[in-house]
Structure 1
Amino acid sequence: MRATALHALARLGRIDVSLIAAALDDPEPSVQRRALELAIPFHSIDLVPLLADPDDSVVEHCAWACGERLPAAAGVLESLCRIVTGHEDSLCREAAVAALGAIGDPTALPTILAATGDRATVRRRAIIALAPFEGPEVDRALALAKTDRDWQVRQAAEDLLDSNLPDSNLPDSNLPDEDRSDEGGPGRIS
């Protein structure tokens, strides 16, 4: 009921920081999860404490919210890295590694690389989280992921590697454009 009321207030444009902050402290996880969605644009609200919530669904939702909120607030990277490397719930690890990839901070790269050795769902998210990074360690992780036993991990690695290749369908800017003429403009036949 309180989560529905919070949603209704948000739809009416009657939500404010104090209501969201109070909802984040609510004992009901569904209210906390809804408040996390609403808290994203309010950078004055500290989400870090909820990354250690006893309810795994709140931790997962909070990790997602942290990945949507850029730049990352103080303590977010460290908390997300702790979740990726030590949380017992794989959904929490998966959400945290995805958030680290969305944030794209190079200090998180070792944690993301370590997550490529986790269970398949986390490995897949870790591979996707490598998208903003480059370097030999990233290349090695992607090459290894192309041989993963899980087809979705392999596919994610192949997609990421393919997206880094130059597109052969795009015109090369060093070549003259034969469709251009001085009289007719681009693409016109004179």
Structure 2
Amino acid sequence: MPKPTDSNHEERDARRALLLWDGQGHPPADPHDRHQAVRSALLLALGRFDRLRPEDLMAGLNDADQRVRLCALRLAAAHPATHDDAIRTALLDLLAGDDHLVAEAAAAALGETGEDREAPADLHTVRALSKAATDHPDKLVREAAVAALGSLGHPDALAAVLVANDDVATVRRRAVLALAAFEGPEVERRLNAALSDRDWQVRQGAEDLLEAAPSPAPLPTDHPD
């Protein structure tokens, strides 16, 4: 019989954590269990049963294990209503961190508050995402950040979105779509310029947005009495 590996034990413990869930309170397992699979499973269970509290999310975002942090970030994106000032600060810290996978997921989570117009994005968040969209060394982080800026639609994000439209193709694809959240002559000029982009997906995105734009109202004409 093969000897059980640590991975086997973690999978077993994760399944046990989910099986112990009774749907009424919080899982009875220890949230500080040494196995990351158990900690991830607890977070997922809380999210699945709509029991995720800001303090649970904060624990996951501050976890020492990358996989747990990524799990918490996915939950942060799926449950933007759990975001308070502390959660937002934690997301911004992760966006600015050295782990590019985590930074990408943090950008995506920060962008998910864009639908909540009663709690619009704060300027600090917009500036952090703008910096990531234009200056981050990892193109996947820049791509996620510019998509988040498009979701938030804050007027102060337009400058960064315009800069991102000159980035590599994968970022430009996101950036041209992000222009849908903005308006004005600069946006129109950029969309028209994108019609001749060397990447066909950028061209298609610009074409779709220009076609969807409302036509200007016709000028009034004088009619003879």
- Contact 1:115-1:123 within 8 A present in 2 as well: yes
Provide the rounded CA distance (Å) in 1 between the counterparts of 2:167 and 2:128: 18
For 1:112, the aligned partner's letter is: V
Cα pair 1:3 1:31 within 8 Å, conserved: yes
Which of 121, 131, 134 is equivalent to 1:72?
121
After TM superposition, the structure 1 stretch with the greater mean CA deviation from structure 2, 73-82 or 124-133, is 73-82
Q: Which residue among 144, 149, 152 is the counterpart of 1:100?
A: 149
| Residues 1:28 and 2:28 aligned together | no
Residue number in structure 2 paired with 1:110: 159
Q: Which stretches in structure 2 are left out of the alignment for 5+ residues?
A: 1-36, 115-119, 216-225
Give 1:162 shift: 0.8
Q: CA deviation at 1:30?
A: 2.0
Q: Distance in 1 between matches of 2:132 and 2:185?
A: 25
The share of aligned pairs that are identical, in percent, is 49
Superposed counterparts of 1:16-95, under 5 Å = 16-39=53-76, 40-44=80-84, 45-46=87-88, 47-70=91-114, 71-95=120-144
Structure with the higher fraction of residues in helix conformation: 2
Q: Work out the CA distance in 1 between the residues paired with 2:107 and 2:130.
A: 10
Rounded Cα–Cα distance in structure 1 between residues aligned with 2:123 and 2:66: 24
Pairing of 1:119-134 with structure 2 (within 5 A) = 119-134=168-183
Unaligned runs of 5+ in 1: 167-190
- For 1:37 and 1:72, the matched residues in 2 are separated by 19
Tell me, yes or no, if the aligned pair for 2:149 and 2:157 is still in contact at 8 Å. yes
Equivalent position of 1:156 in the other structure: 205
CA distance in 2, matches of 1:159, 1:67: 22
Q: How far does residue 74 in structure 1 lie from its aligned partner after superposition?
A: 4.9
- Provide the rounded CA distance (Å) in 1 between the counterparts of 2:48 and 2:93: 26
Amino acid at match of 2:162: L
RMSD over aligned Cα, in angstroms? 1.4
Q: CA deviation at 1:134?
A: 1.2
Q: Provide the rounded CA distance (Å) in 2 between the counterparts of 1:9 and 1:131.
A: 35
Residue in 2 that maps onto 1:15: 52
Residue 93 of structure 1 and its aligned partner are, at CA, apart by 0.2
